[in-house]
Chain A
Amino acid sequence: MTDRVSEAVGPGYRVERVDGSDGVAALRFAGELRFRQCFQSWKGVRELTQPAASRMRLDLSRVDHLDGAATALLLELKNELASAGAQTDIVGADGPVRAMLELYGAHAKRPSQKPPPVKIGILDQIGRETLELVRESNALDFVGDVAVAGVRALRRPSLVNWADIPRLMERAGADGVPIVLMIGFLVGLVTAFQAAIQLQQFGASIFVADLVGLSMTRELGPLMTAIIVAGRSGAAFSAELGTMRVSEEIDALRTLGLDPYHFLVFPRVIALALVLPLLTVFADVVGIAGGLLVATVKLDLTYNAYLAQTQQAVNLWDVFSGVAKTAVFAVNIALIACQRGLATRGGAEGVGRATTSAVVTSLFAIVLVDAIFTVLFNAFGR
């Protein structure tokens, strides 16, 4: 007997290696090969394959059961040995064991069609996202399409789907009133509170009215309202149009001879441009009311004194400039949201991406436009 025998044992199965005098090394498997059991102990089986013989034989004649993943392990072992230069055969399998091997071995080994995605570091990721933001923001195609459609709509206003506007105004405007009121009130209250602590030290409590009145009407009212509307309606518009895009409804519109710009985009732009200034007026009023609450409760100012001071400090231009710029915010929010929605690719994930991108880009545009307005108003001395 020149045969050399060594063995590995795992739960439910055992493998012995028999090195024959003919130079063939046989691994004889016995028992039940189940992935859960043999995965842990598979290392022992792999060690059995060393030292490699020029011919290897995997003998399964005494295997009673072979499950799917264990088959994969076995075939992987065979491939490994073969690529290391050993001629390897699986022998002795019959019945269900053989069927399993045929099932898993049926498809020829092919290289992956697409290389696995490269791992991206966190800094790299941030850089990519930033570039993406810049690249997406310059959606010139859309600007061109909107301009062309806009000129046609000006020539023939009947092209625009006016009938949808009241419904959209209700959803973007009326339904948004509670949240705008609450946030406006709280922002006025917080501003007054912060200011009160400082102003009290100088005995200048009455100027809380100036501070709250001016900051609400000129900046905080418009900005907070626009941010709320971008989060509510901007997200809604892009999700709605994105879903329509994905479910072929935009294509269907085109084939019915209806232009998506006239039918979907312009009504949304107009509706938002009408409701955002109105919501801003609400935010201004409740913001001043929030300041009033702090002034009367914490600073012992009278109701009349506060209102009189506000009236004196805030003039019509302050209110008007704040409200007017929100119309520009509204156009930005609606156009960005619709562009992202119409440009949606892929399925549910695409809609999610479009919505995220719509809100992020809208917020960026709002702040940018606001900065431009501030500089312009400043230059004209207002």
Chain B
Amino acid sequence: MPSGAEAAAVLPPIIAADELAIGYGETVILERLSFTVPHGEVFAILGGSGSGKSTLLRNLIGLDPPLGGRLEVDGAPPRQSDGPPRFGVLFQSGALFGSMTLAQNVALPLRKWTGLDADAIDVVVRSKLRLVGLEGFENHLPSEISGGMKKRAGIARALALDPPLLFLDEPSAGLDPVSSVELDELISTLSRSLGMTTVIVTHELASIFAIAQSCIMVDRGARGIIARGAPGALRDGSDDPRVRAFFNRKSV
């Protein structure tokens, strides 16, 4: 398996945004967004609350249509067509289906998109849950487990079809520091060992430095990207007061 850097040299970027404009209805929140995400990288989209980063994520995963510009995810516009999903998504709350057990949640995309029989699906489901450290919780309902476990289960479901790309919406939001670090480690390990590209929307500084190789920072006031690069370089080298404030935890 090629490492991230080698793969990036060979393959075109897995996400390419060109002059993208996003928002809802007539309201443009961010515009002229141009960035690429190479294969195999952990890429972070940063920004304060209300900066439009979640709206950008909704565009990237095809839930909202862009207001302008071009966006390609894995070689095609992200809007879901009839085929199987081309990427996995972990929503902020996990978004597990409340009436189904964890096993049934993970099995859902497998039942829909693979021809596997029930036994084979069961094996895959167990292995995915083991991957995120939830072995033994197959028959729990989402309401019976903690917030951190819900997110792990959400990751297991997102990984059910072995996607080359995983999106995570504020994975550490609402978690205690220990669960948050454990989740970061899980994400890091998964993306490294599965050779998977990971896009994280977050404002959690610790997570960013721990797992992201590069990032962009968006700002609603500036209506676009105000910084890009490796997180460490931005913290130490940026001249932009908003970027410095963000990385040094100061109010502007």
Contacts and interface: CB of A to CB of B under 8 A. Distances in A.
Verify that A and B bind, or say they do not. yes
Interface of A: 243-244, 247-249, 251-252, 254-258
Contacts of A255: 61-63, 80, 85, 87-89
A82 B86 CA distance: 63
A294 B85 CA distance: 63
Given A257-B80, A257-B84, A251 B109 contact: no
Contacts of B113: 257
Interface in B156-170: 157
Contacts of B84: 257
Given A256-B112, A257-B109, A257-B112, A249 B80 contact: no
B12 interface: no
B247 interface: no
B80 A248 contact: no
Interface of B: 58, 61-63, 80, 83-85, 87-89, 91-93, 95-98, 108-109, 112-113, 157
B85 A249 contact: no
Nearest to A258: B112
B116 to A, nearest CB: 15
Contacts, number: 51
The 8 closest A-B pairs by CB, nearest first: A252-B95, A248-B95, A248-B91, A255-B89, A257-B85, A256-B109, A249-B95, A257-B84
A252 B100 CA distance: 14
B112 A252 contact: no
Contact of B89 (A244, A249, A252): A252
A257 B81 CA distance: 8
A257 B83 contact: yes
23 contacts: A247-B95, A248-B92, A248-B93, A249-B96, A249-B97, A251-B58, A251-B89, A252-B89, A252-B91, A252-B96, A252-B157, A255-B62, A255-B87, A255-B88, A255-B89, A256-B85, A256-B109, A257-B80, A257-B83, A257-B85, A257-B109, A258-B109, A258-B112
A254 B80 CA distance: 7
Most A CB within 10 A of own CB, among B58, B80, B92? B80
